[in-house]
Amino acid sequence: MRILLTGAAGFIGSAIADTLTAHGHEIVALDALLPQAHGVPPETRHPLVRGDVRDAELVRELLRGVDAVCHQAAMVGHGVDPSDMPDYAAHNDLGTAVLLAAMHETGVRRLVLASSMVVYGEGRYRCAEDGLVRPGQRRAEDLDAGRFEPPCPHCAEPLEPELVPEEAVLDPRSTYAATKLAQEHLAAAWARQTGGEVRALRYHNVYGPWMPNGTPYAGVASLFRSALHRGLAPTVLEDGRQRRDFVHVHDVAVANLAALETSGPPGELDAVNICSGQPRTIGELAESLSLACGGPAPEVVGGARPNDVRHVVADPAKARRVLGFRATVEFADGVREFAEAPLRVGEKQV
């Protein structure tokens, strides 16, 4: 299969490129090499076209003779503040719209889209009295007082977090999250209008070699690792008991391979969680990395970033059913590897 892979030089994109070529597929690799993601441009293991997915003429040219598109290009991460909004919307949503229009014009009908757990907002919660409930945004005064668990919106009693299935309510709570959901909506509209196939892979907390480092867009695993390699203790917000689903980049690449090699339902978007299904806390990640690096113990400092959610852990059942995918890298093994893995050098911050 000949596949256009956008974001091919990125953290996840480069792992996908390796996996696809190892399984006999031909890739057309495209990447804008944004400094927020790459800093120093990386050495790539595959021929790379340096260009922007918003360049319609270039994208149409690259789509000639392509069987499917694997769309990884995006601005990612928590960002800095709302001043990031135009850049996120331009790269993620306009870029996706240009790509979809070019696919329509060139007759390419298969898309695998990198989506994210962030489209869910808070995870899935159950109240002993009220059943499944959707908590509201946590209040600043509660966070300041160290009350981190979201209460039941009906009776204010504590909630029990559960695994999040794909049919859960979507409630993006950051700029990045809003743009990822918009990408899904654009792709769904394209599928309905063209009869095309879209698999939207909702990645959970991806970690592994060549994560971005030293930028405000870096993930928590990279931030912890960077601190430890500077001899500093990882700084853990809230009480460290926030639950997440950490999935290794190798497993994410394998999931993309499976999504490209299996047919999805035509004329609609098929969303699939890409996850381990194993709850881990942020504190547990910090402690495991500290031990693996031989560094200082984490410092739990309280507080929270605006719009951070408390618990998000995914249900992996659909990925097993429709893709035959199951994460294989165990958390302990992945963390030990990550403790010494190379990171991507980010742009210098001032």
Q: Point out the residues that are catalytic.
A: 176
In three-state secondary structure terms, 211 is coil
Q: SS3 for 132?
A: strand
Exposure pattern of 261-300 as b/e (b: 16+ CB <10 Å)? eeebeeeebbbbbbbbbebbbbbbbbbbbbebbebeebeb
* DSSP letters for 56-124: HHHHHHHHTT-SEEEE-----SS-SSGGGHHHHIIIIIIHHHHHHHHHHHHT--EEEEEEEGGGG-S-E
Tell the residue number behind the tokens 């309280």, with chain if given: 302
* 219 vs 222: CA distance, rounded Å: 5
3-state SS assignment for residue 290: helix
- In whole angstroms, what is the distance from residue 40 CA to residue 42 CA? 6
Confirm if 114 and 187 have CB atoms less than 8 A apart: no
DSSP label at residue 321: I
Residues in the chain: 350
Q: What angle do CA 81, 123, 323 make, to 5 degrees?
A: 105
- Which residue's entry shows tokens 């998000």? 312
Distances from the Cα of 347 to the Cα of 60, 211, 257, angstroms: 31, 13, 31
Residue 345 CB partners (closer than 8 Å, separation 6+): 39, 40, 213, 214
Instruction: Tell me which residue of 48, 62, 46, 47 sits closest to 99, measured CA to CA.
Output: 62
